Structures are given as structure tokens and as C-alpha cells.
Structure 1
Amino acid sequence: RKHGKEEIETLHSMIEPILAETYGVIIYQEQVMQIAQVLSGYSLGEADLLRRAMGKKIKAEMDKQRVRFVQGAVANGVDKGRAEYIFELVAKFAGYGFNKSHAAAYALIAYQTAYLKANHPTEFVAASMTLDTGNADKLNSFAQEARRLGMELEQPSVNHSDVGFVPHDNSIRYSLAALKNIGRPAVESIVAERAANGPFKDISDFARRLNPRHVNKRALETLATAGAFDDLGIDRATALENVDRMILAGNSAQEAKAGGQNDLFFSGGGAAPPPIEMRPAQPWVSTDRLSREFDAVGFFLTGHPLDDYEEVLQSLGAETWADFSAKAQTRHVVGKLAGTVLSARERKGKTGNPYAFVAFSDATGQFEAVIFSEALIAGRPLLEPGSVLLLDVEAEAEGETVRVRVQGLSSLDNTAEERSSGMKITVDDPQALSQLAAQIGSGGGQGTFRIVLWLDGKVVEFDLPRGIDSTPRQRSALKLLDGVRDVSAL
């Protein structure tokens, strides 16, 4: 309208001067009060009562104001239908209106932040995440926005992360202080040590340089499960298994330092101290790793449990939450979704029938769905946190919220196995066969296992009996075994 591309609609000639500066649109509370005075003969006191009634949205009071507004306008020669139309516009204004000074301040801030996001998006998102460091839900929203904008969200690292979120080119390094169970003083201690004496060379170096008074057991457990030690050459399971040894090494180093024996651990001269002897631990399969990461971060950061099921979900025609919810904003939709269960809250309706609100997550976001009695009774055993499910759903928008109802649910592992003919496993080392046998167990599935074994320069290939678990989770576990070169679907 400002640029003449759209015609300005005149609601009534009597109030045209009031809305001239906003091109015929009711924007400010002052305009509402002026319209009531000019059009319907309100006094200043009555106009202020109208403003308050709109702010509180009390139906009985708004009904009274409607009668007063329309009668006053008709008395001033305004058509009754037109008066009622204008009152409806005035009433809608209550959902978003502010006084002029307030609206102007908001507009300025909105313009400034829009400029920063458009011209410095990485720095803008990193600063926004730092501002909401303690709010995992908001951090998850910012993480989704960062990915939508093509940014890389780098995992936390004791060698690269800081207290805040650090932007760099088109990536953001995750903050250590945003992890759960680790306070700001602990992070400041790690960052200060790194700044003073250089990056940590390995996990032993980190352990001997940490101050256990600042970085306690829970903080170390969080760092391990969040992947903050990954670039020190140690897997997460092993790091978690040896938290006590890290603390012991840290205490010993602090005692030596206090006793003046700095040369042993802190002097640049002489031989480096031997590495800490670590208890071995079986690496976590991807679903377990991500589940523990979720507990430490508050959302899935470096991947998602559904990543292993991508091929199966495509063949099933399952949609992502982002695509499905976008369609639901415009119409009633039905379809298939996949989700990892985050939480479930069961309730009973007035008739005594059970229903549940269940929070799910997929790679594009989190959503809540309601499951009514019939589907709930059939699927209740599946609603454990961490379970990956296939959902038949319907949804529509109510305002800005998409309401989702689950019509049916099933185990995605079972569905994936039903559609799988088995797996082919390529083995480099015959010693891996015993680990392989222990992992696959004695049965419980429908897939065929084909073993391709490299033996003395020759390839030996054979099939194991059917009845072996061939789910994506199993495939992920097999890839972790020493001596297994490749695992692929048959």
C-alpha cells in the first residue's frame, strides 16, 4: 500500500484521517480509542474501557461494547452493517495491538535483528543460542533453523568449544556450557587451561591437566556422552567407563603440583608421562550413542536414531515431520510418520477410556501426538522412551499449532525386518567370527546372513540359516566389530 501496489481500503470517511498514517490498517491502541470516539461518540474514559476489554478478551464485556459501539455509530449516521464490520476489525486488533510507542520500539528491534540474520546469519544464530544456553527446547529450534539455513552445527569438543556458541564461516561450534550437568565454572576452567597451556593432546593429557574441584564426575560423564572427547582419539563408551581414572589422574597431578613436583606432569623437559591405562569398553551402536547424546545435550545433535532406517522409510512412503506439518498447515492430511519416542503421558477421559500424549522426534524436529484408547491399548508396550515407531497419523492446523492424532503404530524394527531379505557381512579376520556369532545370537529374526570371509588370499562365501535378526540396529552393531569390513543389505 505504501508503494501504491495495493489500493488503500477506506473503512469509513469519518475515520480515514485516523488511519491515514498506517495506510488504512488498524495498528495502534490509540487508533482504536480514536475510532470509538469519532465513529461512535465514546468519551475518553469509555474509549479506555474498550481498550481494556479488548486486552482481557472477556466475552461478556466485549458483547456489551459491541452494542454500545454499533448503536453509537448508527446514531452518527453510519450504516449498521458497516459499523458491525468495523467493530470486528477493531476486536481482531486485540490479538496483536500495542500502543504506538511500544509498537515503534518493537519495529526497530525487529528491523535490526532481521538485518543481522539476513547479513550475518551464522553470527546471529550463534548469539541467539548463547542467549538461551540453558533452554534445550529453544536450542533445538535454533539448531533446526541453522540446518535449514545450510549451517553445520559442530559437536562439542574440549579442544574447540567455548563457554558460548562459536561461529566460524558457515558453522557453529556447540557450547560446553549448554550441556546438561556441567556448570559454567567447569567450562571456564577447561577453556582457561587450554588457553594457558595449549590444546589437550589426548585423554591422558586432559585428565592430568583438569582440576577435579571444578570438573567433577557428573561433568566428565556429560562430556563423554556428548562426544566432547571424540577428537582426543577415544570412543565415548571407553571415556565414560574410565571417568574415575581421569579423576584419579587429575587429583594426583594437582597434588604433585601443590607439592612442588611440577616437572613430572607440567614441565616441557624430560619424557612425557605414560598414558593412563584405560579399561576397555564395547563401543556403543549408533542408537545407544545417540540416546546417551540426547540425555547430555537435550536433543539429537550429531545424528538421529532414524538415520539407519532411511531406505526402509523411503520404501514405506513415510514423510518427515517438517514436510508433513507444512502440508497440515493448509488442510487436513493423513500419512505415515516415523518417530523416536521421547516421552509419554497417559490420561483418562470423562468416560474412563485411556488416551496418551506422546512426544516424538525425527531428524527434522519434535512433535506431540495424541493416541486414543483403541490404538493406545494395542500399542502401549511400544511407547517406551527410545523406541523407534512407524505411525499412521492424521492432522490439521489449529491456529499456529498442528494437532496430530495417531491412528495406528508399530515397531519400525519389526517392519524393517519384514521387508529385509537379510545382510551380507564381509570379514577380513577369521578371529572376528566368534564375536560375530555372539552378536547375532541364536535367532529371533527372519533375515539370511551371508558371510564373505577373506582367508589366505581366497574368498569363502556361505549363508547362515534363516531366523537371524537383520534390523538396521543389528547392522549398526555389526559394523563396530573388529575384523568386519562391510555390512550391506542383500
Structure 2
Amino acid sequence: MYLNCHTAYSFKYGTLQIEDLFSEAKRCGVHKLILTEINNTASYIEMLRCCEKNMPSKNGLTKYGQEPYSLEIGIGVEFRKEDELLYIALARNNNGFEQINRHLSRYNRGEVNLLSRAPELSDTFILYPLGKIEPDLLRKHEFITVRKSQLNAYKLHADRKEFAHKFVLHHPVTLRPPITEQNGKTKKVNYRDHNIHRLLRAISCNTLLSKLNEHAQADRGEYMLPEAELLKNFEQFPDLIANTQRLLNKCSLDFNLGEDKNKKVIKDKKENDIAYLREETKKGYQRIYGNDQRIWQERIEKELSIIERKNFTAYYLISYDLINFAKREGYDFVGRGSGANSTVAYCLGITNVDPIELDLYFERFLNEERSSPPDFDIDFSWDNRDAIYQYIFSTYGEEHVCLLGTHTTYQRKSIIRELGKVFGLPKEEIDEIVEFPDANRKRDHIRELIFRYAEYMKDLPANISIHAGGVLITEKPIYAYTATELPPKGLPVSHFEMHSAEDFGIYKFDILSQRGLGHIKETAKHVKKNQGIDVDVHQFRKFKDDEKIKDLLRNSKAMGCFYVESPAMRMLLGKLQCEDYLTLVAASSIIRPGVASSGMMKAYIERYHTVKNGGTYEAIHPKMDELMRETYGVMVYQEDVIKVAHHFAGLTLTEADVLRRGMSGKYRSREEFQRVRDQFFSNCKKRGYEQKVTDRVWFEIESFSGYSFAKGHSASYAVESYQSLYLKAHYPLEFMVGVINNFGGFYSTEFYFHEARMNGAIIQAPCLNNSDYLTSIQGKTIFMGFIHIKSLEQKIAKAIEANRQLHGVYTSLDNFLQRIPGIGLEQVRILIRIGAFRFTGKNKQRLLWEAMLYLSNSKSKLPSTEVLFDTEPKDFPLPPLLRSDHEDAFDEIELLGFPLCDPFDLLPNKNLGNTLAKELANKLNKVVSIIGYVVTTKPTSTTKGDAMSFGTFYDAEGNVFDTVHFPNVHKAYPMRGRGFYLIKGKVTVDFGVYMIEVQQLEKLSMIHKRPEKVYQEVESISH
């Protein structure tokens, strides 16, 4: 009898998680209901999965050993506009569901408005609230709903027998029932869920809770009742009950979870797809492996057979089509993810690492028992991805393609902020509560309420967002499965998210963007323009033997290079003295938090050096060493979980993949995961392993939790790292310009300019006659782009370059002002202060004076037409205008965010401590003092949860050094933002990498912008 059930996926309205609604149905003995979220279809797949999970298996229990419960669901949508319920559309069948999805999607695209009357949707039932429409205006499939509170009003219609069949009972479900609390002899009803609902509504309406309109809220009684109790409320009106039951019985859907719903055929039929895949694979195979048929017979035939049997041929061919399109357009790309374990993918050119050379485990990507879809991640340069999206939509049809959605959930900090607003707290107080939760938790009753309800509301879904790169391509129209949103990006987005898509049988194509490819492409362009050299960045085999690249890796000089520039990665490569590809591949994975924090990183480094020096180590178990000989018996990659589970513990490949997915953070069925975990321990016991061995192996598996890479993924990253390293090693200045212009590195832009300077570049502030919108290079001189100037309007910044290219260099301030129409005084002041007019030979004060005179005479409004004669105005004499040597630096700090001079020139005291970065190796275990300029800091925590941090600085010579701030120091001497610090601490070493273990920290002030002497001179002039 429940035609209108909400979950929390009725965003900022419902309070029930999917499992909660199922539990409520079970509590009330309800065996069928209609799920009708408000203006979306986000939850139904998860609900279908929940129903399937609770179905009985052969032994009468669920497959997880629990008591079964049978629940059938129908699907609909509750259409609302500005909090007004217009109508509820129920799908009679799959076709009706598609009609509803199309109607809602057209509304989301702005093609139609939501009117009080629903359009003609033939395979649906439309339900209007009582009083919205007269019965005689209803179409055949339309009905009117009656709530318990409306029964008196309904009696006015009850005698009209010709319309008796047009009314149905209406009891919405939005909340859990209230809680009855016993306090001594007093009973109190706690409407907790309704309070949560009201808070969500206040957040949605952006209003104070005290001002929330009752019209915007659900009734307190919108919770599920046992059916007998519900029907008792309507027992005087048997027609209502009968009509409702009839509608409920007629609503059904035919969806099978896990059934393949993807694009199935690319050519005209499946057989031709298979033949085409084989033919194209063979072409690539001959190009890579020549006429040696051994690999074809041993590996390719096996892969092709599994791909065909698992119906993934179309998945390969679509990926192949995308990379061929990218090649035709000249777009750079990298195929990675577990798909890099496929030799067929390597032959097709989808991926760039050789699975044979690296002994990649194909079963990690695809095996006979695997039910989940495969996974290619294809990275494109950030400025090419939109073109790839457009190609997919135009090639495979907008009816069949959409981007994958994701559901943003409330987390503790975000919900505390939202609750602070609806309770009326000022921003300063909210910031304080978020920053210092423990000190604020019990300060007053408002804060107590905020923290209590923040805990209740944590993990509730907040809205639909866009997955990082997922694209869905279906055989049937996408509307057969979901309505779509149209966010600002302008491409349709599914209402369900990744896990639901996977459960449902729709796999995603990961079309990702990254800045690393952008800076590689940009560097090649600058090398060609600046040095006339065509750089080939695809000579990977040559790069592996390049001594300059080895030097960068060994000596932690990889700043700017893709994936290897972070302080943690630089230190790891230094500890390993890494100079080869396989070590870099391993490092790319063991740097991940799970492997690092479990002690496996340390074990890997120790064993690496032991073996390198001819020694031996003790493995956990000989079988572990056999399975992971390349990584010295240490689990490093995702496929190691599969190998260990399958070969060490004897789990099936299906069970092993459950573990792998559970550890990668992409799996949701904790019951199934628990079952496989128990099987793991049971199998190990049967195989006679010692308990401590089993426990240790499980600990290593568990430590992966969400942070491990597939080996092929790491290998793909490493290839791109080598491309970056090659460019930095041989073309360092052009490389740094490429990094700066792609805004995607680990460090701030300031540090990349510093790195360019350390490699011999001359850094120039933006100049009207030399700078472009982006940063450019001429010989060894790097001219900052106008894009870096804060508050400079983009249209002005771009117009400067465009006008210069069209009409030649600017000759003076007056010439510039005539050529850039509409520029105001404030924008001109910014350009003068940054030094963009230095080609005129006039100082900034004089230029500011002239600009003020010019623009005031023209009333700050310049004509948009060109002047006939370019004549310079008369040069008037001005009094002496004094300026200190350091004022340019402070202008740069204000307008760029950092100075272009050596920052150490801005220190009033030239005492730089007793140590420089290059001297740390000679002062091991000694306490030193050093002045450092902050590059970056990283807050983290110890295994006990205590706050600590790491720091990266550079010294007076520009050389980088690293610091560690343990909890006591971190608390006593906190970092206070960017700038200079006097650091005192002990020099330590770990596998050849030197750090300072900080004992004291003091932030230093810079010189004053206008020294006292200048003030005195200005004062005397003014008198």
C-alpha cells in the first residue's frame, strides 16, 4: 500500500538510508512498495541489490547465512517544483520507467518546464494530490491521492460513484518512526528523524531553522506502519484500499542485476567484432614481437578467448577507437589501470607497457571467474578531454551515452558548517567549531545539538556530482536505466554511481585528464620554438639507459616530473638509489599510504639493499617469496592480493577478486567480504601454516585498504615519469615553463620558477613587449605570463598579447592606452606596479602619475576607435619620486604572490645559521641551525593518531632540504604559513637520505617595505 517511499537519496529531504527502508519494510511486514525519490532515480539499483541480498538461497537462508525476507519494489519519481508536490509518476513497466526518465531529463536540460499537469506518459500511473485537479479532468492512467488527514475532504467525492476508481490512499514514507524514551516514570517521544529532516530542509532552503516554512517540511507521521495499522485508518473507504492495491499490483519492473547492459556490437554483428579485434591485435603483435609465435600461442590466444567468452570484445574495440581518434587528432594519452596487464591491449596500443617484459598478471585484469567488468583508465591531456567526450557522444549517440554520476555525502566538517549556519551562528564561531571540535563540543546547548546531529547526519547523501572520468555506453538508450542531470559541464550525468552501475551490469570507461601529459606536450612545443629541435618523447627504451635521467632519480632532483616530484617520492627514490625502470615501478606503488604505513615499505627498502649487497633476508614464508620474488617477498601491487589469496591460501580466483576489490576500497558487500576472509583463515589452517604466518600475511593484505596500485598501473605511470625526466634532464628550462603553464604540479608556481632559476634561467616579470598570456621562454630568459598577475582581468591579459601580435610592440604608455580600449586606471596601475612598462625607461611613480593624468583627462573612458596619428604627449617635469630597492619585491609579492628576486634578500639579518643543505651529510647526528624558505609542508599523524608534520624548505643557496616535526615539536612550534624559518634540529639519515629532526622552530620577519631612511626623506620633501 506504499506508493510513495523516499530514502535519503531524495536529497536534503529523506532521512532513510537504503538499508533503513528495507528494514522498515521488514519490520512492518511490507512485501511490495514503490520507491519514488524526489526528482531523481538515484537509489533504485542499490535497493534492488538490497532485495537480492536478502533473498533465500538453497538452504533457506540468504547466501550470507541470514534470515531471508522477500521485498519487491516498483519505481517512480515524485515531481516537485520549489517544494510544491506536483504529481507522482509510477512506472507500470520498463517502458514506463524510460518515459519517466526521459521526461525528468528533458526538465533537467531546460527543454521543458514542470507544470502542474503531467505530460502523456502512456505506460505510467500519475498521482495528483487531492485538491490539485478535478476527477472529471483525469486521463485514463491518472489518479488522485488521499491522505489520512484529507479523509473529510475526500467524503465530498466519495458519493460520486463514476469516479470512485480514481482515488488511492496516500501515506508517504520519509522518516524512521519516533523513539519513545523512558525517563523514570515519564515517557517522552523523540522525533529525531523529523528533526534531521527539518535540518536538511533548512540547509536546502538556505534559511535559519527557526524560519523554515512548514510548507517545505514533511509531516511528522511520514513513517512506515504495519499494513494492518495503515489500512485501519482507511477501513471506512474500501474503494481506496482496493484501488491502491490494484495500482501496486500493476507496477512491476524486469531488471536483472549483473546482466550485461553495455554496448554489445561495434560492427554489424558480434562475429565481425571478434574477427576485427583479432586482426588488429595481430598487426600490433607483429610490429612489437615480430614473427615469434610463442607469445601469441601462450598469451594472446588465451586472452582473446577469455575476452570473447566474457563478452568484452566491444569494450576493447571502443577503447581502441578512442585512442585511434586521439592519434588522428595528435592528442597525447596514456592507457593505464589494470588494463595494462593485457597483452592484447598493449598490441592495440591502448596501453604503453609490455606485460610480457614486466610479467604482468592478466588474471588481475580479467579471468574466467571474474564477474565485475574490466578496467581501462585512459588519461588525456587536460585540454583535450572535452574533445574526447564530444567524440564519444557523437560516435555512439547521445541516446546511449552519459557521464557517470557520484553521490556526495555529508562528512563531519561539512555538516558542522551547514548546521552552524541553520542554527544562526556567525562565520567566526563556525570556523572555531570546525577548527577546534573538542573544545567546543559541550560549550552550550546549541553546540551540543550541532555535534549530536552532525553524527546522525554523517554519510547521508547530499547531492549528485560527476565521477572523475567515468563514461557509460549502453546498448539500449541510457534512459532505460536512469534519468540524467545536466550540470555546468554541459554533458548528461547518470543519477546512479559507480558501484550501482557495476552491480547493474553497466561498466564504465574511465576517460581521465591530467596535467602531466599537458606539460610534456607543452615542453616539446617550447623546445621546438626556442631551440629548433623536434623532441621525440616516445623513445622509452632509450630513456631507460639515459645517464642524466638516472642522476635525477638517484639524487632526488625530479621536481616537476610526473609522479616522482613529491618530497615523499623523492626521499624514497633517494633511499633506493633508484636508477632503473623496475625499481621505479615498485616505488610508484609502495609509496601509497597502506603499504607505507604497514611497515612494508621499510621492509622493501631493507631487503632491496640486502640483496643488492649480496646478502639474504628471512621471508614470512617460502611461498610468499616464490610468489613475489621481484619485490623481495613484500606485497606491493594489487595483483599480489590475488596471487597470495589464490596460490598461498587456495581461494578461488572469484574469492581472491572479492578480497582484491575489498582492499581497493571499491567494494561494498561486507558480508561477502567477511565470508571470504573466514575462508582465507580456514584454508590457511588446513594447509598447515603457523597462525603467526597467516596473521602476518592477512595484515599485509589488509594494509592495502584502498591505496594499492595494479602493477600495470604503476608501470604506466613510470613510463610517463621517464618522459618527464628525459625532458627535465635535457631541456630543463623549457620543461619548467611547460610545468608552470599546466598548473598541475605538486608544488606552488613560485617554486617552479625557483627551480628554473636554479637550472640557469633568468626570470623576468611580465613585460608588455615580451610576455604572452602564458609564460614563455626566449633563450635562457623566462618571461612570466600575464595569467600570473592577480586581479588582472583575463580579457585585458589576452588583449595585450593579441594586439601586439597584430600591430607590433608597444612604444610607450600613451601608445598602450590608445591601443587597449576600455582599460581602467586600476588595471593600468597593476601593470605599472608589476613592471610591465619597464621598456619605457621611466620609473613606476612617473608612469603612475602619467596614467592618472591621461585617464582623468579622458574621463576614464577611451574611444574604441583607433587614433589617426600616434603622437606622444608633452613630457612634464615632476619632483623627485623616491623608491626603495625592495619595493619592487613587495609589489611582486602583492600582485604575484611571491618575489622574483632571491627571497633571502628580504631578510633584515644576514645571519643564516651555521649550516647549508649541502653540508648536512657532514654533520650527521649533530644539532644544526639553518634558515629555510618554505616550499611545502605536509601534516600527518603517527600510528597512535598524534599530529605531526614534514617540511620541505630551500636554503640561502637555493638547495632543498627536508624536515620532520614529531608530535611534541609540531605542537610546541607550529608552522605559521609561508616565509622564512630559523630551524634548529638534529641531522639524521635513513638509507642515505638526510633530514633535520626539528627541535625548535622560529618564524622570521622580513624587512619593512619602506625603510626608515626613505620615510625620513619623503617627510622632508613634503615639508
TM-score range relative to shorter protein: 0.5 to 0.7
Name the aligned partner's letter for residue 885 of structure 2: S
Name the aligned partner's letter for residue 119 of structure 1: H
Q: Which residue of 2 aligns with 1:379?
A: none
Q: Which residue of 2 aligns with 1:121?
A: 732
Instruction: Tell me how large the CA RMSD over aligned residues is.
Output: 5.4
- Quote the Cα distance in structure 2 between the aligned partners of 1:71 and 1:100: 28
Q: Which residue of 1 aligns with 2:720?
A: 109
Q: Which residue of 2 aligns with 1:145?
A: 755
For the 8 Å contact 1:308–1:472, the answer to whether it is kept is: no
Q: Which residue of 2 aligns with 1:47?
A: 656
Name the aligned partner's letter for residue 337 of structure 1: I
Q: Does 1:337 align with 2:899?
A: no
* Superposition map of 1:459-478 within 5 A: 474=1011, 477=1014
- Quote the Cα distance in structure 2 between the aligned partners of 1:45 and 1:296: 58
Q: Whose Rg is larger?
A: 2
* Superposition map of 1:158-197 within 5 A: 158-197=768-807
Change (3 A) 1:42 1:180: same
Change (3 A) 1:137 1:292: farther
Name the aligned partner's letter for residue 219 of structure 1: Q
For the 8 Å contact 1:235–1:283, the answer to whether it is kept is: no
- Quote the Cα distance in structure 2 between the aligned partners of 1:373 and 1:84: 36
Q: State the Cα deviation string for residues 393-418 of structure 1 (Å, max 9, x = none).
A: 45899x999886756677777xxxxx
Q: State the Cα deviation string for residues 162-219 of structure 1 (Å, max 9, x = none).
A: 111112333322111121111332122111222222222233332333223xx44343
Q: Which residue of 1 aligns with 2:639?
A: 30
Q: Which residue of 1 aligns with 2:911?
A: 313
* Superposition map of 1:240-319 within 5 A: 240-245=848-853, 247=855, 254-255=862-863, 258=865, 262-265=867-870, 272-275=871-874, 277=876, 282-304=881-903, 306-307=904-905, 309=907, 312-314=910-912, 317=913
Q: Using the TM superposition, give the Cα deviation of residue 126 of structure 1 relative to its aligned residue in structure 2, in angstroms.
A: 0.5
Change (3 A) 1:106 1:361: closer
Q: Using the TM superposition, give the Cα deviation of residue 132 of structure 1 relative to its aligned residue in structure 2, in angstroms.
A: 1.2
Name the aligned partner's letter for residue 30 of structure 1: E
For the 8 Å contact 1:151–1:172, the answer to whether it is kept is: yes
Name the aligned partner's letter for residue 868 of structure 2: D
Q: State the Cα deviation string for residues 270-322 of structure 1 (Å, max 9, x = none).
A: xx432565866734323433222101011122342x416587314xx3656x6
Change (3 A) 1:31 1:122: same
- Quote the Cα distance in structure 1 between the aligned partners of 2:756 and 2:808: 30
Change (3 A) 1:339 1:288: farther
- Quote the Cα distance in structure 1 between the aligned partners of 2:645 and 2:925: 37
- Quote the Cα distance in structure 2 between the aligned partners of 1:138 and 1:239: 31
Change (3 A) 1:298 1:402: farther
For the 8 Å contact 2:930–2:955, the answer to whether it is kept is: no
Q: Which residue of 2 aligns with 1:225?
A: 833
Q: Which residue of 1 aligns with 2:684?
A: 73
Q: Which residue of 1 aligns with 2:843?
A: 235
Name the aligned partner's letter for residue 229 of structure 1: F
- Quote the Cα distance in structure 2 between the aligned partners of 1:375 and 1:100: 41
Q: 1:203 aligns with which of 813, 816, 825?
A: 813
Change (3 A) 1:53 1:411: same
Which secondary structure state, in structure 2, belongs to the residue aligned with residue 172 of structure 1? strand
Q: State the Cα deviation string for residues 142-168 of structure 1 (Å, max 9, x = none).
A: 123223333332221111111111123
Which secondary structure state, in structure 2, belongs to the residue aligned with residue 109 of structure 1? helix
Q: State the Cα deviation string for residues 30-53 of structure 1 (Å, max 9, x = none).
A: 221221222123344543453355
Q: Using the TM superposition, give the Cα deviation of residue 113 of structure 1 relative to its aligned residue in structure 2, in angstroms.
A: 1.8
- Quote the Cα distance in structure 1 between the aligned partners of 2:628 and 2:969: 48
Name the aligned partner's letter for residue 911 of structure 2: L
- Quote the Cα distance in structure 1 between the aligned partners of 2:1006 and 2:797: 39
For the 8 Å contact 1:238–1:280, the answer to whether it is kept is: no
For the 8 Å contact 2:834–2:892, the answer to whether it is kept is: yes
For the 8 Å contact 2:887–2:1009, the answer to whether it is kept is: no
Q: Which residue of 2 aligns with 1:420?
A: none
Change (3 A) 1:18 1:366: closer
Which secondary structure state, in structure 2, belongs to the residue aligned with residue 335 of structure 1? strand
Residue segments in structure 1 that go unaligned for 5+ positions in a row: 266-271, 341-358, 377-382, 414-470, 482-490
For the 8 Å contact 1:241–1:279, the answer to whether it is kept is: no
Change (3 A) 1:179 1:48: same
Which secondary structure state, in structure 1, belongs to the residue aligned with residue 763 of structure 2? strand
Name the aligned partner's letter for residue 298 of structure 1: G
Name the aligned partner's letter for residue 226 of structure 1: I
Name the aligned partner's letter for residue 170 of structure 1: K
Which secondary structure state, in structure 2, belongs to the residue aligned with residue 36 of structure 1? helix
- Quote the Cα distance in structure 2 between the aligned partners of 1:195 and 1:78: 75
Q: Using the TM superposition, give the Cα deviation of residue 130 of structure 1 relative to its aligned residue in structure 2, in angstroms.
A: 0.7
Q: Which residue of 1 aligns with 2:741?
A: 130
Which secondary structure state, in structure 1, belongs to the residue aligned with residue 786 of structure 2? coil
Q: 2:708 aligns with which of 97, 111, 115?
A: 97
- Quote the Cα distance in structure 2 between the aligned partners of 1:402 and 1:57: 39
Q: State the Cα deviation string for residues 210-259 of structure 1 (Å, max 9, x = none).
A: 223xx44343232222222223212234434554345457889953x73x
- Quote the Cα distance in structure 1 between the aligned partners of 2:709 and 2:986: 33
- Quote the Cα distance in structure 2 between the aligned partners of 1:106 and 1:194: 40
Q: State the Cα deviation string for residues 34-93 of structure 1 (Å, max 9, x = none).
A: 2122212334454345335544599xx999999875664353233444445544554555
Q: Using the TM superposition, give the Cα deviation of residue 367 of structure 1 relative to its aligned residue in structure 2, in angstroms.
A: 11
Name the aligned partner's letter for residue 286 of structure 1: D
Q: Using the TM superposition, give the Cα deviation of residue 13 of structure 1 relative to its aligned residue in structure 2, in angstroms.
A: 4.4
Name the aligned partner's letter for residue 295 of structure 1: E
Change (3 A) 1:14 1:283: same
Q: Using the TM superposition, give the Cα deviation of residue 22 of structure 1 relative to its aligned residue in structure 2, in angstroms.
A: 6.2
For the 8 Å contact 1:207–1:250, the answer to whether it is kept is: no
Change (3 A) 1:308 1:297: closer
For the 8 Å contact 2:764–2:782, the answer to whether it is kept is: yes
Which secondary structure state, in structure 1, belongs to the residue aligned with residue 792 of structure 2? coil
- Quote the Cα distance in structure 1 between the aligned partners of 2:825 and 2:915: 41
Change (3 A) 1:252 1:298: closer
Change (3 A) 1:195 1:67: same
Q: Which residue of 1 aligns with 2:147?
A: none
For the 8 Å contact 1:285–1:476, the answer to whether it is kept is: no
Change (3 A) 1:34 1:209: same
- Quote the Cα distance in structure 1 between the aligned partners of 2:650 and 2:708: 22
- Quote the Cα distance in structure 2 between the aligned partners of 1:74 and 1:165: 63
Name the aligned partner's letter for residue 231 of structure 1: F
Aligned length: 379
Change (3 A) 1:338 1:138: closer
Q: Using the TM superposition, give the Cα deviation of residue 21 of structure 1 relative to its aligned residue in structure 2, in angstroms.
A: 6.6
